[in-house]
């Protein structure tokens, strides 16, 4: 059972951003500070990647752990109400992610998924962004 009214829930869900989220902005600032230049929300590619390194044909998706159901993640959960809707929603998100990844690979691009929990851990100072930089630059060096 939901603890808020249907109208309040609708307002909450409408306020969830799909681009320019805090994790995306944190990652973009970090990449820029390390001399990595990129384009954002690149509509010319399948899935409209959050960050694109055109020169290296790398497409970066910043995936929300809840919406994309990150396995074994401490911030991922499954709602206990309206379970049929949520199961269908999560399945369609993951199917779309897989399709976008396959289409990008077929076009010669390297898709990379970075999870919000990876960025949140960094913002809590439990580690720095170097592992994420390595995740991206390893693909740059393969180009």
- The structural domains of the chain, with segments of one domain joined by +, span 19-141
Mean pLDDT of 118-122: 69
Please report the pLDDT score of residue 38 as a whole number.
94
CA–centroid distance for 98 within its chain: 13
Other Cβ atoms less than 10 A from the Cβ of 71: the count is 7
Judged by average pLDDT, the poorest of 31-40, 60-69, 113-122 is 113-122
Please report the pLDDT score of residue 108 as a whole number.
96
Residue percentage of the chain with pLDDT more than 90: 34
- Whether 61 contacts 85, CB under 8 Å: no
Phi and psi dihedrals of 57, rounded to 5?
Answer: 55, 50
19-141 classified as CATH 3.40.960.10:
yes
Please provide the average confidence, as pLDDT, over all residues in the chain.
81
- Whether 99 contacts 111, CB under 8 Å: no
Single pTM value for the model: 0.77
Mean pLDDT of 4-13: 64
Please report the pLDDT score of residue 6 as a whole number.
67
Pairing of strands 58-63, 51-53: antiparallel
Highest mean pLDDT among 30-39, 55-64, 100-109 belongs to 100-109
As a whole number of angstroms, the distance between CA 106 and CA 71 comes to 26
């Amino acid at each position: 059972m939901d603890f808020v009214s249907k109208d309040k829930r609708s307002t909450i869900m409408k306020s969830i951003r799909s681009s320019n989220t805090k994790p995306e902005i944190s990652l973009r600032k970090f990449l820029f500070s390390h001399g990595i230049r990129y384009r954002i929300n690149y509509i010319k590619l399948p899935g409209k990647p959050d960050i694109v390194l055109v020169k290296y044909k790398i497409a970066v998706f910043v995936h929300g752990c809840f919406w994309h159901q990150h396995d074994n993640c401490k911030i991922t959960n499954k709602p206990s109400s309206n379970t049929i809707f949520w199961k269908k929603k999560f399945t369609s998100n993951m199917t779309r992610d897989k399709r976008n990844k396959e289409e990008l690979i077929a076009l010669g691009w390297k898709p990379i998924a970075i999870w919000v929990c990876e960025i949140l851990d960094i913002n809590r100072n439990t580690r720095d962004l170097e592992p994420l930089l390595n995740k991206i630059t390893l693909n740059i060096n393969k180009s």
